[in-house]
Amino acid sequence: MTDGARTGRERVAPPEATATFEEGLARYREGDAAAAHALFERSHRRAPFEARFMSWYGLTLVLVERNSNLGILYCDQALRVAGPEPELLLNQARAHLALGQRDRAVRSIARGLAAAPLDPSLQSAQACMGWRRRPVLPFLGRGNVVNRWLGRLRHRWARKLHPVPEVPPMMLGLLPPGAPAALPAPAEPPGEG
């Protein structure tokens, strides 16, 4: 194959589709999901092979039109096309969270952190969602009544000391303007590792 020829994997999105997509991202970050959805739909129709366009369009399908089947399908297809990219996994997590599927959202974020542990958006999403902690009394089972009661008590105290604002699925993992490109790696607690 000559240098000038392109294979099917080397497709480039048309410039007007990219411009529409970027405008859609700006609208999404402003909180206008309906306008972003229309722009993502337009960019996806112009470049249906582009994984980012597909993923964002799938997310807004879930958020705006409540079309869970097609929205999740597009988010999953984008991941199959492009691989485990942090942005696409975060969109998948947002879509699952919007559908009330917290466990699947947590798994998507965990997959993203495994692929890109220093990604600030995924770290922000992890901080907002929180993770399951170890049982208060490790020698008792997680489902033990005492462990459950102490765990709820620990959770309440932790929330009072360090409140974490509830984040709607649309805003999960969005960083404020001027945020650092990457957060430092989390330090290992002493005695572990």
Q: Is 178 part of a structural domain of the chain?
A: no
Q: Is 128 part of a structural domain of the chain?
A: yes
Q: Domain with 75 in it: what CATH number?
A: 1.25.40.10
Q: Is 189 part of a structural domain of the chain?
A: no
Q: Is 73 part of a structural domain of the chain?
A: yes
Structural domain including 89 reads 14-171
pTM: 0.74
Q: Is 177 part of a structural domain of the chain?
A: no
| Domains held by the chain: number | 1
pLDDT for the residue numbered 28: 94
pLDDT for the residue numbered 41: 96
SS (HEC) of 31-79: CCHHHHHHHHHHHHHHCCCCHHHHHHHHHHHHHHHCCHHHHHHHHHHHH
Q: Are 125 and 172 in contact (CB under 8 A)?
A: yes
pLDDT for the residue numbered 132: 74
pLDDT for the residue numbered 159: 78
Q: Please report where in the chains the tokens 């002493």 appear, as a residue.
A: 190
pLDDT for the residue numbered 184: 47
Tokens of 56: 């964002």
Q: Is 114 part of a structural domain of the chain?
A: yes
Tokens of 59: 């997310």
Residues in the chain, pLDDT under 70: 1-10, 164-167, 176-193
Q: Is 7 part of a structural domain of the chain?
A: no
Q: Is 92 part of a structural domain of the chain?
A: yes
pLDDT in tens, 45-55: 999 999 999 99
pLDDT for the residue numbered 9: 53
